[in-house]
Structure 1
Amino acid sequence: MSQHSKKKTAKKWTVGLLAAAMVFGIAGCGGKDGNNAATSETSSYNKEGLPIVNEPVTLKVLTVRWGSMGDTFTQNQWLKDLEKNTNVKIEWQVMSSNDWAEQKSIMLASGTLPDVILGNQTFGDSDIVNNLSFFRPLDDYIEKNMPNLKAAMEETPELKKISTFPDGKIYSLPTRLPSRPKSSRQPVINKTWLDKLGLKVPETIDELYNVLKAFKEQDPNGNGKQDEIPFIEIGNDLISPFGIADLNNNNMIIKDGKAIYFPVSEEFKEGLKWENKLYAEGLLDKEVFTQDDMMRSAKFQNPDAPIVGFTYQWTPDAVFGKWSDQYVTIPPIAGPDGKRYTIGNPIGMSLHRNELLITTSSKYPEVAARWADQFYTNEASIQNFWGAIGTVIKKNDDSTYTLMDPPAGTSADAWYWDQSLRDFGPKYVSPSFEQKIVLNPESGDGLKLQLDKLGSEFVTEPFPNVMYTSEEFEELPTLTTDIDGYVNTMRAQFISKGGIDEGWDDFVKQLNKMGLEKLVKIRTDAYSRYMSVK
């Protein structure tokens, strides 16, 4: 997922959080006793064209936003025009992610839901799979009421693959975000340090090792102290040169078309030895196993002098504060086999599911489906990702689209979240339309696309975002808690203390005792189902 989706704006709520009881009271209006102006049997409904209904209908739409973002996005001009053009009025229920988990439990227990659930922050796979009776299968609606989405699924078949549940039906709608990169985090290095020490950008892990060693020993920040931290984090990025490109952090990769659990692979073993070598020689931060995000951030932005030499980031400007100008993104580091690997997705980091659900509480599923389909045009999608044309986006005479500059004192990212649904909700931007979107190559989404050119050709196919059955969801938490926990513990031990060759057979034996075979079967069964969707 993109770096920006974790950022939070400083904006305060414009509307107080609704109490759970009030939510259920409102949600009930969209249920079986609803009294909207039109009913699903009325001649008011139009199968095509606009308006969708001749007499106004109100839909209750629930969405969850990060932290204290509030509901300013509802003033997006495209959304206001949509209400006018469709005759579908929206009563927004905007929740904060801060306390949504508790509210969600209460709502699912009550079984009283609004008409539409929007955004994948709201209900995840297990919420849906374990409560299927609350959500309508959407296959027939897509076929009969949603020509925009139907066309999108034909152009990009992965949309259908990620949206198909284990029973073969589609309950939640997907998104394809615009202008997303293929690569996730990329290697970032202090170029000022390289230049000062007369070193070239490292291409291989051996060259990287030599550079990190020079960073530690030769005082590149020039403050007379040996306070440089050559490398600061442990993660899959560091072992990606060994062919381990785990996008979804579930210890699975695709190799030669097969789903592989990589912590028992030779590549992982060699990656551990590389990490152990860096740790033993002080090239990995000695606090790598104990520091939290705040401690790490303080090191990235150390006030007196830059102290971090090498890292993996979305963009260099995202973490280094006033030292950002010293850092550059570089091509992926080649591994022992001479090849380069980048964590990401060859079809783009753009596809997500669970962006819109229509509940069985809704009396107007056809209306809701046709309303949702309006989001699946190119212009609708860019306006719901950045902001409305005329407000955030300028439509040029040559049919290209450029993003305007944010108001003074506001970051572009914060502005987009303020003005649009941003990451959440249904969208589809076709690959051909993306050529018409002109982004600033020096910041934000445009900068990431520029940097992506360094690594996009090396992106490996990730283990996809597969779907699990309710039975599999029952078994997965115990298996992953035990097995992933043990892998993480042993990884830390192998890195900090070594003994990898001597301890390897016992490590694998213990994983098998813990049920590794069952875990791998669940993952590979889900992968087979995913690949069988046509």
Structure 2
Amino acid sequence: MKKGKMKLLTTLSAIVAVNSLLVACSSTKTDNKGATPAPSTAPSASSAPSASTAATKYPMQTSTQLSYWMELTGNLVGVKSANADVPFYQNWSKVTGVPIKWITAPPNQGKETLNVMLASGDLPDMIDYNFLGFPGGPEKAIKDGYILKLNDVIDKYAPNLKKYLKEHPEVDKMAKTDNGSYYAFPFIRGDEYLMVFQGPIIRKDWLDELGLQMPTTIDEWYTVLKTFKEKKGAAAPLSLVGLPRPFNESGNGAFVGAFGVTRGFYLDNGTIKFGPMQPGFKDYLANYRKWYAEGLLDKNLATADVKVLDANFVSGATGATVGNAGGGIGRWQPLIEAKDPKAVLAAAPYPVLKKGDTPQFGQRDFPFTAGGMVAITAKSKNVELAAKFLDFGYSTEGGMFFNFGTEGTSYKLENGYPKYTDLLMKNPDKLAPAQAMALHIRGNSGGPFIQDKRYIEQYLALQTQRDAVATWAKTNAAKTQLPPITPTPEESTEYAKIMTDIDTLVDEMSLKIVLGTEPLDAFEKYVDKMKSLKIERALEIQKAALDRYNKR
């Protein structure tokens, strides 16, 4: 194996998920035979010629098969194991007229599987992956010949996406690197209402039964969880998904945000800080350490996946978690209701320390998000066809298909409104709406298209789900989250190396302190170690990238 490939294999296996809010997109001059050299900078969509490329007529007439790689989405776990068996992907091929070879990576193993594939050099035509996590960033992925720079590709073959970016300069700014490079067909949230969808979830029926108020502070949460354990026999009062990293929920500020920090980088009055080296993170670990010692946290907190949470909710072992309105409340409400008709899951506010305070952190997405974007690889011999295939999602027809599926099967038009059928909302096989939707649409999992508000209006079929969005939106996350910045290739390579070591250290520190295998005072030793691993250099890189982003 070549030295460069070995280096990639080593680095990519520990791709950092430091800031889930980072978003960008890139590009390269191509023809339908593959890639040709391109200048280091390119015009943005807003400065490109007017969108005059003839629209593609779908379905296209072609016998050329394209290959498409992606990780299995969480809502398909336990339902299907391969995208080739999912009706949506079968129909996507039909409506575009393009034969597709679907290559499916196992859930939570995407980066490892991609690692091996890139090292082998045997690449598909398209890769559905967040290349902001690529060592060296998207520009490096382009430079190393893994994916294409898409400026000319979009200009020539993607009139629908080109038009949208031209008409939405705020999204266009997010959808490129500092050099003006587009590198993927993006997932775009088409309405503000679609941007908040995750937060704390609790058994509201248990609160009512036990005479407890909805918890808003850390102290109130302690009382509630302790009561769940003692009065309801909950073996794991608070259960959290621990994969791909333990304490995933802390990235958006759930529980940790009460202590004035997050697990990653954030803005504090315009200054970038790294949460795990701040005193507030020690207080957060101390709190979780206490909860774990008293049996209030799931003992499997490092390894629990969605299936574990399914089982915990069904058995009554769990009374609270952090999850999505759709794939969380929508997934677990039917499970607990089947066993207990009076069971109710509801959203809880992001916790604070002082009652009445507004949470500083919380989940809030950007219009252009990291998940669901699709790159065309530099090895593709069918770039034009791949671009036209992907551009379908930004057309009116494609938007309907991605958000609502196939008319007559997954939706019906009622006075012009696409209403989901019982196949999705009251599935005859007893699948939760989130699972049934994953079989027929990509509205609830992202992808190369513009998400439609009418999807969420129905996806959140329960009043508790709609209330959840309003509850979780009451934070100052818009002021504390970093915009979708993109370090340079050189910075990204250095940054990835630093943060690979830092994230490993933070995981080790968090688990050892919470589980009690190291004393709380070991925190200072870990902070010193972070400094020796050049966390301050990582902060410098983030600041430089933020400065450049603000000048775009």
Same fold (TM over 0.5): yes
Larger Rg: 1
Q: CA deviation at 1:187?
A: 1.9
Map of 1:418 onto structure 2: 439
Q: CA deviation at 1:330?
A: 3.1
Task: Select which of 138, 148, 155 maps to 1:136.
Answer: 148
Q: CA deviation at 1:259?
A: 2.3
Map of 2:499 onto structure 1: 480
Q: 1:332 to 1:52 in 2, by over 3 A?
A: closer
> Any idea what the Cα deviations from partners look like across 1:286-305, whole Å, max 9, x if unmatched?
725665448953761464xx
Q: CA deviation at 1:401?
A: 1.6
Runs (4 or more) in structure 1 with deviation over 6 Å come to 52-55, 99-103, 121-124
1:286-301 alignment, distance < 5 Å = 287=299, 292-293=304-305, 296-297=308-309, 300-301=312-313
Q: Please list every run of 5 or more consecutive structure 2 residues that lacks an aligned counterpart in the other structure.
A: 1-31, 35-51, 73-80, 241-246
The number of aligned residues is 465
Report the Cα distance in structure 2 between the residues aligned to 1:410 and 1:55, rounded to whole angstroms: 38
Map of 1:93 onto structure 2: 101
Q: CA deviation at 1:362?
A: 5.4
Output the aligned Cα RMSD: 4.1
Partner secondary structure for residue 339 of structure 1: coil
> Any idea what the Cα deviations from partners look like across 1:181-211, whole Å, max 9, x if unmatched?
4335322223333223322222322322333
Report the Cα distance in structure 2 between the residues aligned to 1:108 and 1:229, rounded to whole angstroms: 40
1:207 partnered with 2:213: no
Q: Please list every run of 5 or more consecutive structure 1 residues that lacks an aligned counterpart in the other structure.
A: 1-29, 33-45, 84-89
Q: TM-score, normalised by structure 1?
A: 0.72
Letter in 2 for 1:309: G
Map of 2:94 onto structure 1: 80
Cα pair 1:332 1:342 within 8 Å, conserved: no
1:270-419 alignment, distance < 5 Å = 270-280=283-293, 282=294, 284-285=296-297, 287=299, 292-293=304-305, 296-297=308-309, 300-301=312-313, 303=315, 306-314=316-324, 315-316=328-329, 318-319=331-332, 321-322=335-336, 325-337=342-354, 338-345=357-364, 347=366, 351-352=369-370, 355-360=373-378, 365=383, 368-397=386-415, 399-406=416-423, 407-409=427-429, 411=431, 412-419=433-440
Q: 1:148 to 1:361 in 2, by over 3 A?
A: same
Cα pair 1:76 1:387 within 8 Å, conserved: no
Map of 2:449 onto structure 1: 427
Cα pair 2:58 2:96 within 8 Å, conserved: no
Q: 1:447 to 1:151 in 2, by over 3 A?
A: farther
Map of 1:242 onto structure 2: 259
Cα pair 1:138 1:170 within 8 Å, conserved: yes
Map of 1:509 onto structure 2: 528
Map of 2:26 onto structure 1: none
Task: Select which of 236, 253, 272 maps to 2:266.
Answer: 253
Map of 2:129 onto structure 1: 120
Q: 1:366 to 1:493 in 2, by over 3 A?
A: closer
Q: CA deviation at 1:525?
A: 3.3
Q: 1:353 to 1:415 in 2, by over 3 A?
A: closer
Partner secondary structure for residue 474 of structure 2: helix
Letter in 1 for 2:238: F
> Any idea what the Cα deviations from partners look like across 1:58-104, whole Å, max 9, x if unmatched?
46242335242325446765753443xxxxxx231211214987885
Q: CA deviation at 1:345?
A: 1.4
Letter in 1 for 2:187: T
1:11-160 alignment, distance < 5 Å = 31=33, 47-51=53-57, 58=64, 60-64=66-70, 66=72, 67-73=81-87, 80-83=94-97, 90-98=98-106, 108=118, 116-120=125-129, 125-126=134-135, 129-132=140-143, 133-143=145-155, 145-157=157-169, 159-160=171-172
Q: TM-score, normalised by structure 2?
A: 0.70
> Any idea what the Cα deviations from partners look like across 1:82-138, whole Å, max 9, x if unmatched?
43xxxxxx2312112149878856764675655x41522799644853353354322
